[in-house]
Structure 1
Amino acid sequence: MLEFLSDWYKTRFSDPQAITLMFIIIGIGLALYFGAGLLAPLLVALVLAFLLEWPVAQMSRLGISRTAAASIVLVVFLGLMLILMLGLVPSIWRQGVSLVTDLPSMIDKGMLIVREFSAEHPQFVSSSQLDSMMEEINKMLDTQHLIDLGKQILGYSASLLVLMVYVILVPLLVFFFLKDKDYLLKGSKRFFPTNRGLASKVWFEMDQQIFNYIRGKVIEIVIVGVASYIFFAIMGLRYSALLGVLTGLSVLIPYVGATLVTLPILLVAFFQWGFSAEFGYLMLGYGIIQALDGNLIVPLLFSDAVDLHPVVIIAAVLVFGGLWGVWGVFFAIPLASLVKAVINSWPNNQEHQRVRLDSE
């Protein structure tokens, strides 16, 4: 047994570059795990820099200085984000408030349907179970509880320090990441061992994949969100903007997100129309959007960036989401691809095995 372990260790860890790669991955992983909260603005800036690198690079090829290109791209991006926020956020806020206001009546209607079902089929739902359900729902809808929860949320989200960090620091970081990309990459190499050929190989393999993934994911969110909103608005579904945004954001969590967002859409449509033709048409159209996303949009956008089995993707979402929360969910696929790239690139000392077999 000891000989087997010794041979396995010599086969997998006899290359110094493999040891270097292992320590780099462990170091970065520990830094992200213990400092994710502090590094959040930096991570946001890195994601945006990856997203905006392509137009900056294209402008640089046209002879525009990288400083000017980074400035132009960042100003245009911030302007578009401002227009989007001013146009979209008020509508989503109004619909969110309306949904919270209508929630008690929707629950009452749902409980009425359940009571009718219980009266016809008491073997499935008893009156005591209904009373217990109503008691729990009333606790959840307690006014003071909602007020206290709202105060807590506002207390965290309205923090002046947090707003200053994200509104001022993140754009500055993005600008310098874009402007001084080559300088920063060159300077960061001083903190890594010189014997990093294997790590460089893995990085070059992942660099383009990460860029393709971030760009593709943003495009997918926009396409799915806009298409869903237009369809919901045409159908006359209430809270169409809010549900459209939720549908777009649901693609951040592969497979699971679509399942989670389907429930509120189904409930809102049911409480609005009941089991009617409109309800059927809405769910059919929503199903078509999800099918087109999974079978057309995703293959077109991620054919080069994602080559993973669905089970691996779901496992990656669970593992990395548990470790790093929202960031882990967003980067679950690139991180899973990184693990795959490391495994594929990891040296396998076949020469050592051959010599051992010859000696025997």
Structure 2
Amino acid sequence: MMAVRVLLKRWSERYFSDEEAVILFFVLLLGFAGIILLGKMLAPFLASVVIAFLLNGLVHALERWHIPRMLAVSVASCLFIGVLFAALFILLPLIWNQLLGLSRELPGMIQVGQTWLASLQDTYPTLISESHVNAWVAQAGQELGQIGQKLISASLSSIPSMMALIVYLVLVPILVFFLLKDQGLLIHWCASWLPNKRRMLGQVWAEMDKQIANYIRGKAIEIVIVGAATYVGLVAFGMQYAALLALLVGLSVLIPYIGAAVVTVPVALIAIFQFGWSDTFIYIMITYGIIQALDGNVLVPLLFSEAVNLHPVAIILAVLFFGGLWGFWGVFFAIPLATLCKAVLNAWPSDFSKE
């Protein structure tokens, strides 16, 4: 027992002998604990912070054109409100109608899949048995056949939460406006609660402020470009549910590596159901593959050229870990949070890196 105490004492002296290291540790601990415990209540504020980061670049650009900050903040806020209402009254109804239409056609898709599996069973009787085909079809029918009922029940159960949605629609734009307007004042107020000696905190904050702003703006641009390119490509071939699939493909960029692989499945299945194993199906998948290749090899390097270099294993682990903790927001901020961990390690006292 005595040896354990001595070991813990030496460990703490080595890693937490610096006062700033202790301050940084507790700031990070309180931040993570607050988000884990109060994440749902703070969701409107977190969303407002993300949007404020996104619009802050526009505000700075307008200021460089000698436009007063108050007017620049007002222009950025009005632009956000316009995009928000366009998404609510134009994009959302279109996506919802396509989702309902897809749920109604699922039984027909299952029947087509059953016919295809039966043909495979006839071609390869030793590999695929009739019992396997029946089991797969039954399971698919049980799972997919309930999607329409789930959508209807979800829409009905969401009626009590409409008031909360209306509150968010009012609250978030107000928060965004004041976060942009009083950015310097709010940062100064938060800094006043910290000790005067905060070199490590300042180093980590300076790096993360730049990285998070670049990441949020880059991801927003990437979602719009990839989603729009996918929509144009699918519409050009006359594919059904183009808006719904384009939205899924656009949002898939939030999950590096995994998202593109997962969203390929619905794109391929709907294309097969509509066109079968035809040349059109091949052209659609080639177009989709070109969009993904351009996204990964051209768009991402251009948008995130200033991002901290992270190994793909570190990115995937960050997505799994933070996504498991905070769901959508954890996935969205997985890369910035991984960058935060790297920035903390770089800013930590030199004794830590010698371990």
Asked if these proteins are the same fold (TM beyond 0.5), I'd say: yes
Q: Which runs of 4+ in 1 moved over 6 A?
A: 1-4
Q: Residue 230 of structure 2 corresponds to which residue in structure 1?
A: 228
RMSD: 2.2
Deviates more, 1:131-140 or 1:210-219: 131-140
Q: Residue 332 of structure 1 corresponds to which residue in structure 2?
A: 334
SS at match of 1:252: coil
Post-superposition offset of 1:62: 4.3
* Distance in 2 of aligned mates of 1:81 and 1:293: 25
TM-score, with structure 2 as normaliser: 0.92
Task: Say which of 65, 75, 84 aligns to 1:72.
Answer: 75
How much identity, in percent, do the aligned residues show? 45
TM-score, with structure 1 as normaliser: 0.91
In structure 1, give the amino acid aligned to 2:267.
Answer: I
Q: Residue 47 of structure 2 corresponds to which residue in structure 1?
A: 44
Q: Residue 17 of structure 1 corresponds to which residue in structure 2?
A: 20
Post-superposition offset of 1:117: 1.2
CA contact (8 A) 2:107 2:141 kept: no
1:341 matches 2:343: yes
Q: Residue 26 of structure 1 corresponds to which residue in structure 2?
A: 29
Post-superposition offset of 1:5: 5.7
Closer/same/farther in 2, CA of residues 147 and 271 from structure 1, 3 Å limit: closer
SS at match of 1:213: helix
* Distance in 1 of aligned mates of 2:235 and 2:150: 33
1:58 matches 2:67: no
* Distance in 2 of aligned mates of 1:234 and 1:48: 32
1:167 matches 2:169: yes
Q: Residue 311 of structure 2 corresponds to which residue in structure 1?
A: 309
SS at match of 2:253: helix
* Distance in 2 of aligned mates of 1:95 and 1:161: 25
Q: Residue 211 of structure 1 corresponds to which residue in structure 2?
A: 213
CA contact (8 A) 2:100 2:148 kept: no
Q: Residue 289 of structure 2 corresponds to which residue in structure 1?
A: 287
* Distance in 1 of aligned mates of 2:93 and 2:42: 30
Post-superposition offset of 1:158: 5.7
* Distance in 2 of aligned mates of 1:157 and 1:213: 35
Post-superposition offset of 1:153: 4.5
Map residues 78-227 of structure 1 onto 2, 5 A cutoff.
78-142=81-145, 146-147=148-149, 150-156=152-158, 159-227=161-229
In structure 2, give the amino acid aligned to 1:282.
Answer: I
CA contact (8 A) 2:103 2:148 kept: no
* Distance in 2 of aligned mates of 1:154 and 1:68: 42
Q: Deviations over 1:75-124 (max 9, x none)?
A: 12211332344332333223222211111101100111101211332322
Structure 2 unaligned spans of 5+: none
* Distance in 2 of aligned mates of 1:287 and 1:275: 17
Q: Deviations over 1:106-157 (max 9, x none)?
A: 11001111012113323222222233333333333556x8435522344236
Aligned length: 351
Post-superposition offset of 1:198: 0.8
